[in-house]
Amino acid sequence: VRRVGIVGCGQLAQMMAQEGRPLGIAFSFLAEGGENTGCVDGLGTVVHAREDADVEALYRAMGSPEVITAEREQVSVDLLRALEKFCPVYPRPDAFEKTQHRLREKTAITAAGLPVAPFEPANNYDEICAAVEKLGYPAFIKSCENGYDGKNQWRVDSDEALAAIRDEVLEQQAEQEYVVEKGIKFSREVSLIGARTADGEVRTYPLAENDHYRGTLLVSKAPAPDADEALQRSAQEYLSTLLNAWDYVGVLAMECFVSEDGLLINELAPRVHNSGHWTLAGAETSQFENHIRAILGMPLGETHAGRPAVMINMLGVDKEPTQPNEGVWLYGKGLRPGRKMGHVILLDDTQEALAARIDDMLAELYGESRRPA
C-alpha cells in the first residue's frame, strides 16, 4: 500500500487522513514534543519524536512512507531536510523555511513581484517605534515566528497603545525578530487555496471570503460573495506565480486583503487551510484529498464548487448543532475556551438564503452575541 507520513497530529492531519484513506492510502503521524495525538486516534501509526532521535529510525518507525508532509508551518526545517534523505518531503522544506518566518515570507513574495502591505523589520522595541513612526498608525507589530490565530501580534493606533506593549515586547527573548506592517484599510479578507503537482499541474478553488473574530477565523464563505471575475483572476495569478516560482508541491493557501490599492497578500500557509474546510462538502474534491493527490503525484481532482458554501468554526463549543446543515466535523479535542473544536458546513442555492442560515447557526452556537465567548 502507498503510505504518507504526516508531521503533526492535529485536526488538519486528521482530515488529510480521513480524506486520503478512501483512496487506499495508509498514514502515519509524527508527534513532536509531547503533542496531543487524540485527533489521529485510529487513523494510523503514531510515532513520538524525541529531541535526540535518530532520523532514520523515525522514518522506519513511520513505516517508511513514500512521501512526507506536515500539517503546520512551525515544524523543524532541519528535521524535514533530514527526512528528505529517505523520501520526498512535500511541500519542500524551502517552502516551510520561507513561510514560517514573516520577514522571509514577505521578502519571498515581493521577490516574486507580488504586492504586500508596506513593512519594516525590527529587532527590538526602539526599532519597532522607529518603524511605526515611518509607517504611521494604525500599525501591526508581529513577531516573525510562532504567530497564528492573531497570537504574538499587536495592533497599535496611538503613541499610548505603542507604549503599552513595551513591557510585553521586552519580556520576549532578546533575539526576537519582528515585522511592523502598515494597517491596511480593507473592504474584506479573502483567501485562495491551490494545489500543484511535481509535474506542474495547478488547480485553484473559488476564492473564499473570511471573517475573523479576535484574530481567529470564524466564518468562510465560498465563492466569496460579490467577488468579481477580475478579483478571482488576480488572486489565481498571484497564487500560480508563487506555486511555479517555488516549484511547489502540495496545497498552498494565500490570505489577502482587498484594499483600495487592489489585492495585497497578507500571509501564506504551506498546507491545507481552515478557510478551505468548506471544500469537504462544497467542492467536488476536498483540499485534503487534493493535497494528498498532489504530493503522491496523482492527477488532481476537480475543484469546482456546486452551490454557495459556508464554513463556520466551532470555537470553544463542541455540541453538535441541531439546525439543518451539510456536515459537522468534530475533531475530538479537549474543550477549551476559544479552541477550534470543529466546524459546520452549510450549502444553499443563493448567498441570501445562506446569510439567514449563517445567522441562525451563529446564534445556536454562540447565543445572542453570535460571537464566541
Q: What residues are designated binding site for ATP? A: 102, 142, 181-184, 189, 212, 266-267
CA distances from 115 to 106, 135, 194, 261 (A): 9, 16, 18, 10
User: Whole-angstrom Cα distance, residue 288 to residue 276?
Assistant: 9
- Say whether residue 136 binds ligand ATP (CB under 6 A): no
Q: Which stretch binds ligand ATP (CB under 6 A): 55-63, 167-175, 180-188, 284-292?
A: 180-188
Q: Is 71 in the site for ligand ATP (CB under 6 A)?
A: no
Give Cα separations from 290 to 6, 233, 260, 298 (angstroms): 15, 21, 33, 9
Residues 260-299 that bind Mg ion (CB under 5 A): 267
Which of residues 121, 147, 225, 321 is near ligand ATP by CB under 6 A?
147
Among the listed residues 60, 212, 233, 304, the single contact to ligand ATP using CB under 6 A: 212
Q: How far apart are CA 60 and CA 68, in angstroms?
A: 12
Site string for ligand ATP, 247-286 (x = CB under 6 A): --------x----------xx-------------------
| Closer residue to ligand ATP, CB minimum distance, 99 or 285 | 99
Question: How many other C-beta atoms lie within 10 A of the C-beta of residue 275?
Answer: 28
**Stretch in the footprint of ligand ATP (CB under 6 A) among 85-93, 176-184, 332-340, 361-369:** 176-184
The residue assigned the cell 482530515 is 15
The dihedrals phi and psi of 122, each to the nearest 5 degrees, come to -155, 140
The least distance separating ligand ATP from the CB of residue 56, rounded to whole angstroms, comes to: 33
Q: Are 317 and 23 spatial neighbours (Cβ–Cβ below 8 Å)?
A: no
Which residue of 38, 88, 121, 183 would you call a contact of ligand ATP, by CB under 6 A?
183
Query: Which residues have C-beta within 8 Å of that of residue 247, sequence separation ≥ 6?
Result: 92
Binding annotation = 102, 142, 181-184, 189, 212, 266-267
The distance in angstroms from the start CA to the end CA of the chain is 45
Residue 225 CB, shortest distance to Mg ion, in Å, is 20
Name the residue nearer to Mg ion (CB basis): 267 or 348: 267
The residues facing 192 across adjacent strands are: 254
The site for ligand ATP (CB under 6 A) is made up of 117, 140, 147-151, 153, 181, 183-184, 189, 212, 215, 255, 266-267
